[in-house]
Amino acid sequence: MFTQAAFLLLAASAVAAASIRERHEPIALRSSSSAIARQIHKCHKPPPPTVYFPLNFRYGSDQKITTDLVIPGSNKTMPVCFDQGSDTYWVLEPGAVFNWGSEQLGVLGACNISATPVYEYLSSLDATDPVPFDYFNGYSGLSKIVLGNTTLEDTMTFTSVAGQKSALPGVRTALANFITVRQPDFSGTCDASEITYDVGIMGIAPFQNTSDYTTQGPNVRQQLLEDGTIKAPVMSMWMDKRPYGVKDTYTGGAIFGGIDLTKFTGPLVKVRSFENSGGSVGYYVAPPVFSFKGKKIKATDSDSCFIDSGTRNDALPVAYEDQDAFYKATGLVESPMGATSWLGTCDTVPSDVTIDMRFPGSKNGTFVDIKIPLKNYVRWDSGEEGLCRLNIYLGSGCTLAAPFSTAAFFAADDERGEVALAQGGISERGSGPSDTAVALRIP
């Protein structure tokens, strides 16, 4: 077990940063996924080598975009968060401890349990022996801290509920043996029956090695680039069509090393994005103009929006004094528990009503429209009678999280500092990546 002094020393090493940029007025771009795919096909070049990750977005209070990792020696899986907001990969090792019970940052709680499920690497024939590595990662302003002492490499198989599967040899991961979260023990008995926590996170944010910041742990995409498995630090990510039931699991996928041109409709537009600086991690884009049924939603002057599939709620930048106007314009309500909600049961939330976002393009005068169906925000019913809780948070900041991912195709080229968006949510469930219509770079 780590001492309190060691814990505080590690926690003090984390940093945060923000970016400030200018804005401009846009006009439309004219290119489509089908047109780009036809151009790629005419070139008669083989598609670039890519690596595929099947994805899920389950129903539940703390669910995010995940890929299911098969546990060696079993037919069971553990959900690994597929996280645009962090840049290292870790899984829980046997004997790992989960700690909670404290309301203060940097203070260990009184409650400990043996974490489960864990990655049983001793049951794998391909796993290397663990090697020493001091691993530390802090999330959400250090409200969650993950610690470990080793890394290893193993052949890892990733799956989704749609039956997709991808086996990757030699994947390097940190082995975490201790997690602590700032979460009070309201019962006073360390009752863990309703406790939830991550058992693995694959950070897919850009690898960094600068004077400001260096990635502090295994980065899967960088490893694949260095060993020649992929040819460029590029990725694309999508989710399939919305499942039938509101409690059903969304499915989708991501590829490292290329851009799948079959998973979106309309133009794929390079949007204004900002380089990481001062220790920031992740993908930041210029804030969009938000609207609902053609009416503009008044938003704060956010400098950027954080794209983060590892967060459960889309945080829309609506200041407290403007929230009544937001609810009036959208017909949504604030529940007695303070949650943005639909007035009615979750089954009655419409699928043809959308929250619309117009993002400025990287070239002056360009933009792209992304429409998020209101029904895609139904991911957990908090049990308030006559209301359906939506995964929408109103505040001063802007985070485009897992619900945004259900309808937005995302592409990134870390080498060129490019981020592109298009309307997603169009592919058939479990369709997997294209065999032919894949580009090495963002068109």
**Residue 8: predicted pLDDT:** 47
**Residue 21: predicted pLDDT:** 32
**Residue 27: predicted pLDDT:** 40
Assigned token pair, 68: 């299911």
- CA distances for 164 relative to 173, 253, 342, angstroms: 22, 9, 33
Model pLDDT for residues 178-197, shown as the tens digit of each residue: 999 999 998 899 999 888 99
* Edge-to-edge order in the sheet of strand 340-343: 333-334, 340-343, 387-389
Euclidean distance between CA atoms 264 and 169, whole angstroms: 29
Count CA atoms closer than 13 A to 298's CA, side-chain side: 11
Let me know: does 121 contact 103? Beta carbons within 8 Å. Answer: no
Query: How many residues are present in the chain?
Result: 443
**Residue 43: predicted pLDDT:** 57
Average pLDDT for runs of 10 along the chain of length 443? 48 40 36 58 78 98 96 96 98 98 92 97 98 96 96 98 97 98 93 92 97 96 98 98 96 98 98 95 98 96 96 97 96 96 96 97 97 97 93 96 98 98 97 94 97
| Residue 297: strand, helix, or coil | coil
**Residue 5: predicted pLDDT:** 46
- CA distances for 192 relative to 100, 144, 181, 247, 377, angstroms: 10, 17, 13, 24, 27
Longest distance between any two alpha carbons in the chain, whole Å: 66
